[in-house]
Structure 1
Amino acid sequence: MSLVKKFATVASGTLMSRVFGFTREMLMASALGTGPVADAFNAAFRFPNTFRRLFAEGAFNSAFVPLFAKEIEANGLDGARRFSEEVFGVLFTVLLSLTILMELSMPLIVRFVIAPGFVDDAAKFDNTVSMAIIMFPYLACMSLAAMMSGMLNSLHRYFAAAIAPVFLNVILIGVLGYAWWKGQDGKAVGYALSWGVMVSGLVQLAIVWFAVRNAGISIGFRLPHMTANVKRLLILAFPAAVTGGITQINLLINTNIASGKSGAISSLAYADRIYQLPLGVVGIAVATVLLPELARALRSGNLKEAGSLQNRSVEFTLFLTLPAAAALLVMSEPIVRILYERGNFSAASTQTVGNILAIYGLGLPAFVLIKAFLPGFFAREDTRTPMIFAAVAVIVNVSLALTLFPIMAETGIATAEIVAGWTNALLLFITLVWRGHWGRDIPLLTRIPRLIVSAALMGIALYYAIGWMGPALEPDAPLHTQVIAVLSLVGLSMILYFALAFGTGGASFGMIRRNVRRRPKAPGDSAP
């Protein structure tokens, strides 16, 4: 299967999850708006979600996958199964202990870590604590599911892991639909959503568990034992968890800072949901596929293939994310209005969330490139260097967020996030080049400026088109008129961008054909 086809397999599942996620957020915005219950739920959900990204997706997609793939090559499926059982026993024990500790400490965690700004509002504080207690077991389920997903990705079975997150949104949509049917108040909706999150963790774990069994690996429980493989995994996993979860670290810190203003946490969460669509569909797909592919090429000594994988991944991500970044920057407010502005979500909320989303658009290429650069380190079992850069990015984020929040409120936090993202991306890229792990690729170097120019021209045209279609995008225009106008603008922008990209040579049909039909090089290939 070609690189692009593998990207498409993962992206299709992620896209489905994001579409259902939009539906969930639209219903939630209508039911809760940016009020105190929405703030409590988003703050409570941020905590287990952050740990999931840090210790599940970050650690296992970065540290577990190369070791698991190496075990498959060295000892076959039986060896990989033994290694998985060793890891599962340790991981389950750690997660059980962590869950018990966090559940008992939740009031202190909310007070000092998650949302210290809620302390003066007793109802909001108590709701946040209760919801976080309900949802925290979701972490254990998703951490185990991440391990199973890493196994599936190493076995070239991408779809089950990509489709499992859809069920979080499906379950929460069902909860919101039931709440609307029963006429429940905001507080009841918030608690029902919290229970829905926990149930979805069990469902997602079951999906990937059965997929692994169908792939020929049946994992049994072993008492935790620190074998050599487990020790190696832990050595790699700690810095990989910090590195892979840098965005989540920043979001948790920013949630803490934003708790000082009512509605700020929810505004950031609603903007993040939209911004996660291109980031998730493209960035996660590239990171998921590139790591096992790159690790395999390096283990076989195929340096030329490894370099080609990295370059084509960057080419692919920029080709798709640059126009998305331009569109978010220019037309964020109309997008937010048609998605959220109804029920308890006001016009003032639309303007606030739209401003945040426009800023996120500027950072989109950085966060997608980070996901394309990190496998270049992780596949070589270097998790320390990215961890150092992640720490630098956290310092940049915290410093700017604390400085800008009193001046710019929520938009100051969003600005801090994207500056930190670009800092991290540049440090990763410069280091890869300096170490000789990123070969000079003339086609890539000539295409990137042309893609940037094409996206910029598309953005300028879109800006004037929005002004021309102004009446159809006004808040008092019928919803169907606004939807048709936005879809028309998106469609015309895509046509213009692709015409410019292909016309200037930023993209070519030959490039696409080569990526779609790409076959692995012989193991003996090496870099020139």
Structure 2
Amino acid sequence: MNLFKATGTIGGLTLVSRIAGFAREMLMSRVMGASWQADAFFVAFRLPNTFRRLFGEGAFSAGFVPLYAQRLQGQNGETEAKNFSEEILAVFVPTLILFTIVFEIIMGPFVFLISGYHGEKLALASFLTRITFPYLLLISLVSLFSGILNSIARFTAAAFAPALLNLAMLTALIVVPVGGTTTAVALSAAVTAGGVLQLFLLLGACKRAGIVLKLRKPRMTPGVRQFVRVVIPATLGAGVYQISAFIDTFFLARIGTGSLSYFNYADRLNQLPLGVIGAALGTAILPQISKHVGANEPDKAAHVQSQAAELAMLLCLPAALALAVSAGPLVSALFQGGRFTPEDAHLTAVTLSIVVLGLPAYVLVKVLTPGFYSRQDTATPVKIACIVLVATVVLNFLLIPPFGIAGLASAIAICSWLNCLMLYVILHRRGHFRIPRWLASRVARQMIACLGMAAALYAIKLVVGDWFSASPGKRLIGVVALVGGGMAVYFPLVWILGGTDREELKALFKRRRPYTDAG
């Protein structure tokens, strides 16, 4: 499988979702502003998504995809893989249902513990979270079917599915644009509706691929026990990350009204390269690395990671630097207006310019962790995650009192790099992955190209700076000038400096030339 092609397919469709997400956030900022009702909705939206990353994207994928891929390689591969999927589904569904019911019952105290809200704000946040929480059940099932499709190199439906959530929420904003509690309730209902749409999309895609799973009686089969042995450490590891997310919510809710909104809008811009590049690479390389590890081909597995790291840095370094340099103009152009004031835009931009500095590290984590998961080692990332969690808490207590939301953003960026460094050091010591000389050389040249791009962005800001808070047309022109100008400088410089193989760069844009081994 061509890594550039697979990443391009996943990343391209993820970009569609991100564009829909931007439209949603742009409208939401104008309709909801940075009000207490908006903060209450963001709590309701973050909680099921935090558990989704715990059960779905993190632990489940880490445990399911390598085991499913192994069974596909057997003598009766498709049959064995299908039976394994049905066994997991039989245990997975009742567990998720029970989990959802328990949290629906204890939602009020749980939201109070996380947010510290009182009175009307606590009541609204609890009510909204009860509406959104079934999304966890739906999207976790989506993760199972996505894992099946990704294992057989069918990435399209799983990559497009998140767009349905954004479209559902965008529809709610268009139909109920009054703001306040009324729109918050409509948005919460749209979250669960989006989960239903995603599940139907994935079920249809699996059926077209000839995969129709039956719901069996739950049984602890050997396959389920093997899955549990792998997934429990991964769940603990993902749990540590999500505890960190809860801690972020805890601190944000106490910084002051609007902080959750500022962080959400900043994270929306930060998540664009994260989703398009990081998630796409992580999804694309895990089956490949698992295949090479299972075939006792460690050199090929390491080379896949090197290819992924090169592509990650080729795209993430300019994205991070561009977002940091252009945070103010971009936030003003995209979100300022209606109930979202210039002061709101300024605080959001400050948050973005800091948190995005951890973007390359976060994407590299997506490249490094498959090196552990493909070897069914989910315990080591857990230990690293625990250390990172402690560091995050300590930094939050140190940095938030003097710097507010900027301190929280700094803690996130610093700990992203700490996580990345620790994962790499352990892989290096075990001989599983070491940065080859050609990769280090190319990344250094990419960084030089980034500096040239940063200078160009600064010049563009000086020329069209007033346009970012002017009419919608001028705002659009300003954003296009920034994005287009940055790309027009960076990619030619990378080409000239040799920051990547020229054929690989052609493949990135044309998606038809095969990826060749690096020399």
- TM normalised by structure 2 equals 0.95
Is 1:168 matched up with 2:165? yes
Deviations for 1:156-200, whole angstroms, at most 9, x for unmatched residues?
Answer: 1100111111100111111111113xxx34111000111111111
Deviations for 1:223-273, whole angstroms, at most 9, x for unmatched residues?
Answer: 111112112212211222344566544222111111111111111111111
Q: Is the 8 A contact 1:65 1:150 kept in 2?
A: yes
**Which residue of the partner structure matches residue 371 of structure 1?**
366
> Percent identity at matched positions?
37
**Which residue of the partner structure matches residue 333 of structure 1?**
328
**Which residue of the partner structure matches residue 526 of structure 1?**
none
Q: Is the 8 A contact 1:54 1:245 kept in 2?
A: yes
**Which residue of the partner structure matches residue 124 of structure 1?**
121
How much does 1:275 deviate?
0.7
**1:265-280 correspondence to structure 2 within 5 Å:** 265-280=260-275
Counterpart selection for 2:183 from 189, 196, 200: 189
Letter in 2 for 1:59: A
How much does 1:78 deviate?
1.2
Q: Distance in 1 between matches of 2:410 and 2:206?
A: 41
Q: Is the 8 A contact 2:270 2:352 kept in 1?
A: yes
Q: Distance in 2 between matches of 1:511 and 1:63?
A: 32
Is 1:47 matched up with 2:47? yes
Is 1:203 matched up with 2:197? yes
Higher alpha-carbon deviation: 232-241 or 329-338: 232-241
Deviations for 1:35-74, whole angstroms, at most 9, x for unmatched residues?
Answer: 0110000011111100000111101221100001111112
**Which residue of the partner structure matches residue 147 of structure 1?**
144
How much does 1:96 deviate?
0.8
Deviations for 1:75-121, whole angstroms, at most 9, x for unmatched residues?
Answer: 31111111111100110010011011000000110111x201x12xx
**Which residue of the partner structure matches residue 386 of structure 1?**
381
Is 1:350 matched up with 2:340? no
Letter in 2 for 1:142: I
SS in 2 for 1:217: coil
**Which residue of the partner structure matches residue 505 of structure 1?**
498
Q: Is the 8 A contact 2:36 2:257 kept in 1?
A: yes
Q: Distance in 1 between matches of 2:176 and 2:475?
A: 28
Q: Distance in 2 between matches of 1:246 and 1:15?
A: 28
Higher alpha-carbon deviation: 459-468 or 334-343: 459-468
Is 1:137 matched up with 2:134? yes
Is 1:428 matched up with 2:429? no
Q: Is the 8 A contact 1:307 1:438 kept in 2?
A: yes
Counterpart selection for 1:493 from 483, 486, 491: 486
Higher alpha-carbon deviation: 249-258 or 386-395: 249-258
**Which residue of the partner structure matches residue 35 of structure 2?**
35
Q: Distance in 1 between matches of 2:201 and 2:479?
A: 36
Q: Distance in 2 between matches of 1:510 and 1:520?
A: 8
Unaligned runs of 5+ in 2: none
**Which residue of the partner structure matches residue 3 of structure 2?**
3
**Which residue of the partner structure matches residue 483 of structure 1?**
476
Q: Distance in 2 between matches of 1:483 and 1:279?
A: 23
**Which residue of the partner structure matches residue 524 of structure 1?**
none
Distance 1:221 1:273, change over 3 A: same
Q: Distance in 2 between matches of 1:355 and 1:246?
A: 27
How much does 1:469 deviate?
2.8
Q: Is the 8 A contact 2:329 2:465 kept in 1?
A: no
Distance 1:518 1:439, change over 3 A: farther
Q: Distance in 2 between matches of 1:471 and 1:108?
A: 47
Is 1:229 matched up with 2:260? no
Q: Is the 8 A contact 2:504 2:515 kept in 1?
A: no
How much does 1:134 deviate?
0.8
**Which residue of the partner structure matches residue 402 of structure 2?**
407
How much does 1:517 deviate?
4.3
Q: Is the 8 A contact 1:58 1:242 kept in 2?
A: no
**Which residue of the partner structure matches residue 464 of structure 1?**
459
Distance 1:319 1:126, change over 3 A: same
Q: Is the 8 A contact 2:4 2:515 kept in 1?
A: no
Q: Distance in 1 between matches of 2:493 and 2:242?
A: 35
**1:169-318 correspondence to structure 2 within 5 Å:** 169-180=166-177, 184-244=178-238, 248-260=242-254, 261-318=256-313
Is 1:451 matched up with 2:446? yes
Q: Distance in 1 between matches of 2:506 and 2:300?
A: 17
Q: Distance in 1 between matches of 2:438 and 2:132?
A: 48
Q: Is the 8 A contact 1:89 1:223 kept in 2?
A: yes
Q: Is the 8 A contact 1:242 1:390 kept in 2?
A: no
**Which residue of the partner structure matches residue 70 of structure 1?**
70
**Which residue of the partner structure matches residue 91 of structure 2?**
90
Q: Is the 8 A contact 1:56 1:241 kept in 2?
A: no
Distance 1:245 1:496, change over 3 A: farther
Deviations for 1:363-415, whole angstroms, at most 9, x for unmatched residues?
Answer: 11011101011111101111110111111111111111122122111111111
SS in 1 for 2:306: helix
Deviations for 1:329-387, whole angstroms, at most 9, x for unmatched residues?
Answer: 10101111111111100000000000011012211101110101111110111111011
SS in 2 for 1:382: coil
Q: Is the 8 A contact 1:69 1:154 kept in 2?
A: yes
Letter in 2 for 1:8: G
Number of equivalences: 512
Q: Is the 8 A contact 2:503 2:513 kept in 1?
A: no
Q: Is the 8 A contact 2:169 2:187 kept in 1?
A: yes
Q: Distance in 1 between matches of 2:186 and 2:507?
A: 49
How much does 1:453 deviate?
1.7
- TM normalised by structure 1 equals 0.94
Q: Distance in 2 between matches of 1:520 and 1:42?
A: 44
SS in 2 for 1:343: coil
Deviations for 1:185-223, whole angstroms, at most 9, x for unmatched residues?
Answer: 411100011111111111111111121122122111111
Letter in 1 for 2:232: F
Letter in 2 for 1:508: D
Higher alpha-carbon deviation: 290-299 or 300-309: 300-309
Q: Distance in 1 between matches of 2:179 and 2:425?
A: 52
Q: Is the 8 A contact 2:321 2:450 kept in 1?
A: yes
**Alpha-carbon RMSD:** 1.7
